[in-house]
Structure 1
Amino acid sequence: MASTEHRTGETDAVVREWRAEDGWGVLDSAETPGGCWAHFSHIAADGYRELHAGQRVRLEWESPGQDGYDFRAVLVVPRR
């Protein structure tokens, strides 16, 4: 059962999947077991914002999460 306690953190993560047509995806890290839900509006980038499977990012997250995930991104910074 997911905890309702509000927690936050920051970590490195890898994009598991990105649904460009829907504007969201799932990021994986040791600190966000089961995946972290991310929306395009939380990506720190200019222009069209999307991610790609396998891409490394810096992730700021919070819980409880969203849409069945225990964690939700609040800021995603793509690694170059």
Structure 2
Amino acid sequence: MPTSEHRTGETDALVREWRSEEGWGVLDSAETPGGCWAHFSNIAASGYRELNAGQRVHLEWESPGQDGYDFRAIRVVPRR
């Protein structure tokens, strides 16, 4: 259920899907039910930035979200 209350947090998450050609994807965590929208510009890495389905990341998020998702990534740090 969307809310207009601004909230933030951070957690570990798993990449559900990543659309490289469009530069965005969805991350899943217990703290972001329904998924968290993420854009390539929020990935903390140098060079070409993309994620892969099944990859673990550290996620800083905010709500309300974007494009139908209740949560939006502020910063995504890929785990090795």
TM-score by length of 1: 0.99
Q: Determine the structure 2 residue equivalent to 1:60.
A: 60
List alignment gaps of at least 5 residues for structure 1: none
**1:20-78 deviations in Å (ceiling 9; x for gaps):** 00000000000000000000000000100000000000000000000000000000000
State the identity as a percent. 85
Count of aligned pairs: 80
Q: Determine the structure 1 residue equivalent to 2:8.
A: 8
Secondary structure of the corresponding residue to residue 73 of structure 2: strand
Secondary structure of the corresponding residue to residue 59 of structure 1: strand
Secondary structure of the corresponding residue to residue 10 of structure 1: strand
Q: Determine the structure 2 residue equivalent to 1:36.
A: 36
- Runs of 4+ displaced beyond 2 Å: none
List alignment gaps of at least 5 residues for structure 2: none
TM-score by length of 2: 0.99
